[in-house]
Every structure is written in C-alpha cells, then in structure tokens.
Amino acid sequence: MIYIVMGTTGEYSGRNEWPVKAYRDSRLAESHVTNATELAKIIEVQYLRYDDTPLDTNPYDPHMQMRYTGTSYFIMEVELDESNNGLDC
C-alpha cells in the first residue's frame, strides 16, 4: 500500500481535490495530514480577513488552494504494484 495525502477545498461542484504527497508508511502520511491541517487553519484566518493580504505558503502543501470552506487533508490508500505482471502499460 501507499498512502497519498490529498488536499481538498470548496464544496459541491466547486470542490477541488489534489494530491499532495505519497508515503509508504501510514504514520508519516498521518503526520503530514496533521501538520498541513494545522498550518492551513492558521492561513485560513488570514484568508477570511478579506484584506488582500497575500496568503502564507504552506510548506506541507506548496500548491495549497483555499476557498471559503477552508482547506482540509485526508489520506487515500492505494495498492502499490511494483511488479509488471506481464502487462505492458
């Protein structure tokens, strides 16, 4: 298995999701989610001020997006097949 940290913002048809980083160790992915979420909450305070202050960057997610719903993170588990299994992709 690999554990892909995913970011999300918005809702309904305006919802965006994006991959942030992948890990082989679920604990590292969980730590990444925790750290990215904590920093996104701090950045959200700036965003909600609506005073044209540039958003700080999030080193845990350099491509972070944010809408009025804030930004959240979750882990997507995906099976990693490192064999070719005779398939040419």
pLDDT value, residue 33: 98
Domain ranges within the chain, ordered by starting residue: 2-78
d(CA 6, CA 16): 10
Rounded to whole angstroms, how far apart are CA atoms 70 and 48? 9
Average pLDDT, the chain: 87
Per-residue pLDDT tens over the stretch 27-70: 999 999 999 999 999 888 877 655 555 566 789 998 888 888 88
Amino acid at 54: P
